[in-house]
Amino acid sequence: MKKTVIMALLLLLILAACKNETAKEVKMKIAVIETGKGTIKAELYTDKAPITTKNFIELAGSGFYNGLTFHRVEPGFVVQGGDPKGDGTRGSEKNIPLETNQELKHVKGALGMARSEDPDSASSQFYITLAPAPFLDGNYAVFGKVIDGMEIAEKINVGDKMNRVYIIEK
Amino acid sequence: MNVLEFAEKIRKNEIDIVEHTGKIIEECNKINKEYNYFNTISGELALQQAHELKKLIKNRDKSIKNKKLLGAAISVKDSICVKGVESTAGSRILQGYKPLFNATVIEKVIKEGGIIIGKTSQDEFGFGSFSTNSGIGFKIPKNPIDKERSCGGSSGGAAGLAKKADFPHIALGESTGGSIASPASFCDVFGLCPTYGRNSRHGLLDYGNSLDKIGPIGKTCYETALLQEAIAGHDPNDSTSLNVQADDCTQVLGKPANGMKIGIIKEAFGEGNDEHVEKHVNGGIERLKEDGVEFEEISLNLPIKYGLATYYMIATSEASTNLAKYCGMRYGAAEKLEGSFNEYFTKVRSANFGDEAKRRIIMGTFARMSGFRDAYYIKAAKVRTLIINEYKKVFRKFDALVSPTVPILPPKFSEIEKLTPLQNYMMDIMLVGPNIAGLPHLSVPVGHEKNLPVGMLLIGDHLQESKLLQLGSVFER
């Protein structure tokens, strides 16, 4: 009898754990970037890039990105934005350390943090790769990937605004 | 009369050094009117030096005995700083800049009794292979053998004067990607680019700090070796200067070279070369064989295939950084101070840099941009290491490597005008390899095709300048 109870309890625990897992899956965080040309949605790798995603989510949550521009467009390489000054020279007040993960590669549509020559200098500027850029792997923090609206990212011109950037959960 | 015999006569007071120097300056002025070898002739400084030496000779000062360059005229590439003498690196942006100090190599030349006669013409900041990319307002040096042709570059004025001067003279040149060997080849003289770090760069107006080397250009192998010997050595003012004993380069000259082994770089012969150039380089190889030097053909794929791309990525990146300081605030050219700093810098730089300087600043800035730095500059730095490794492997077996110095005979100015920038860069195909690997190399005059000179390039392992000069001296016998 005792044994059965323990077994049942164990089973319950396992079930509960499973339920938790699925709950996490459902709670995928997605960055929504609304531009005048359409909306770009990107999955955020909260598990594999916790520091970088936390920083991005906080900035987006505070409305930091709303109204900022894409100031750099390199066809076949990246579109880059998120500088409050709009010319690539500024960022938010806080710098974050370089966070890399071997599993996160610069595939097409990767979301990554721009930085200066100091690896730990990323703050608010981020980029979306328009093509695979393996030479950036390990040197720049990838923290997400475009899952919807890649064709919008490809149409971005210098000076285009991100009207609103916010996070949704799915 | 070479520098050695001349110094002896000066020591014995058989020649009046002041009178002689005065004549040289006159001669330089005459040559310059015709050939444009100088940006500045420093007659006053030369005479002042001559007077000081004369005093020492008169007083039978002990130091006279050991001065290697006693009384010899030394011309200086314009990119090397000489105290109180306008030093512009051939650029209008530095016009009027008179350094407050001597470059270390200049200090050494003066200590050895050499007399500085002036600053020789060059491509602006060394950006070229023909000395035709001179800065705005500067004249282009003409080949001493045929005035319609180029001296090579970028140390064009140095090599031209080395050939043209009848008086005892050695030139100080500088090479970043081939700027000593190329003009030496086109002007029928010897040019030694030493190991990176062998000679101090302190006081050089930098082009690419990881590539720049100061070296001698002379009419004879002996004089080339003598100046190298005089300027070599560690310098605490240059963090990249090697802390190794300077060689007595002149000691090995004329010693038999039998038993040495030279690799013939297969990829540097055949397609793309002027056939006459190859003929004479092969003649040079035969000459060394007569002396008992062994040859073997080897393949050196990386430097020829990737050398130019690697070089231009690294060199332009470094150049664009180095040239940032020329903004009209600190050195040379300035304009009326007005507008924002960006507007002011742009005005000064637009007005005073030449086209090639602007091109290299733009290319280098592009290669260093965030993201592109990883794609291009860092990749080039990695390939550079692979190239060095390939050379080092080969030097386990060989004392030196041989190729033509430049694939063509000295071209006419009218022909150069038709070249695209890329074709222009291709001229250094044999030379960028040893330059990015920091390997010493010597261009040896090996023959003439209808009076136009051909140079043969000998490349040595790091710090093996002496071996190259020993091989070069075979051609003086």
Residue A148: how many CB atoms within 10 A of its CB?
A: 15
Indicate whether this complex's ipTM tops 0.85.
no
Confirm or reject contact between B378 and chain A (CB < 8 A).
yes
Nearest CA in chain A to B366: A74
- For residues B206 and A104, give the distance between their C-alpha atoms in angstroms, rounded to a whole number: 40
Task: Decide if B10 contacts B70 (C-beta within 8 A).
Answer: yes
Residue A22 has pLDDT above 60, yes or no: no
Q: Please answer whether residues B7 and B14 qualify as being in contact, where contact means their C-beta atoms are separated by less than 8 angstroms.
A: no
Cα diameter, chain A: 72
Among the listed ranges B71-80, B256-265, B331-340, B389-398, which one has the minimum average pLDDT value? B331-340
Can you state the percent helix, strand and coil of chain B, rounding each to 5?
45, 15, 40
- Of B179-193, B204-218, B421-435, the poorest mean pLDDT is in B421-435
SS3 call for A160: coil
Query: Which pLDDT value is given to residue B287?
Result: 97
| Residue A143 near residue A49 (C-beta atoms within 8 A) | yes
Token output for B63: 């130091």
What does each C-alpha distance from B150 to B35, B155, B184 come to in angstroms?
11, 11, 11
Cβ of B370 and A135 within 8 Å? no
Model confidence at B421, pLDDT cuts 50, 70, 90, reads confident
Check A133 against B379: CB less than 8 A apart: no
Instruction: For residues B457-471, give the mean pLDDT.
Output: 98
Flag if B370 and A74 touch (Cβ within 8 Å): no
Name the phi and psi angles at B232, rounded to 5.
-70, 160
* Residues B45/B82, Cβ–Cβ less than 8 Å: yes
pLDDT confidence of B422, banded at 50, 70, 90? confident
User: What residues of A are in contact with residue B375 (Cβ under 8 Å)?
Assistant: 133, 135-136
Is the Cβ of B370 closer than 8 Å to some Cβ of chain A?
A: yes
pLDDT of residue A12: 52
Residue numbers in A near B378 (CB within 8 A) = 135
Pairing mode, if any, of strands B294-298 and B261-265? parallel
Nearest by CB to B375, from A114, A127, A135: name it. A135
Of A90, A92, A71, which Cα lies nearest the Cα of A80?
Answer: A71
A30 to A20, A111, A126, B217: CA distances (angstroms)? 20, 12, 15, 66
Cβ–Cβ below 8 Å for A133 and B375: yes
Residues of B with a catalytic annotation lie at 77, 154, 179
Considering CB atoms only, which of A116, A127, A136 is closest to B374? A136
pLDDT of residue A7: 57
B374–A116 CB contact, under 8 Å: no
Instruction: Write down the mean pLDDT value for chain A.
Output: 90
When pLDDT is cut at 50, 70 and 90, the band that residue B426 belongs to is confident
Chain-centroid distance of CA B274 in Å reads: 23
Q: Is B14 exposed, middle or buried (0-12, 13-18, 19+ CB in 10 A)?
A: exposed
Taking residues B265-284, what's their average pLDDT?
94
CB contact under 8 A, B371 and A127: yes
Helices B17-35 and B43-58 pack at an angle, to 10 degrees, of 160
Task: Tell me the per-residue pLDDT of B335-394, one tens digit each, with 9 for 90 and over.
Answer: 889 999 999 999 999 999 999 999 999 999 999 998 999 999 999 999 999 999 999 999
Residue range B23-45, pLDDT digits in tens: 999 999 999 999 999 999 999 99
Residue B414 half-sphere exposure toward CB, CA atoms < 13 A: 2
Question: A23 pLDDT exceeds 70?
Answer: no
Q: How far is A21 from chain B (nearest CA, A)?
A: 37
Q: What was the pLDDT predicted at B272? A: 85
Q: How many helices (H) and strands (E) does chain B have?
A: 17, 11
Q: Which of B296, B301, B272, B298 is nearest to B433 (CA)?
A: B301
Of residues B106, B40, B79, the one with CA closest to residue B176: B79
Q: Which tokens belong to B277?
A: 């150039």
Give me the amino acid identity at A120. Answer: D
Asked if A116 is an interface residue toward chain B (Cβ–Cβ < 8 A), one would say yes
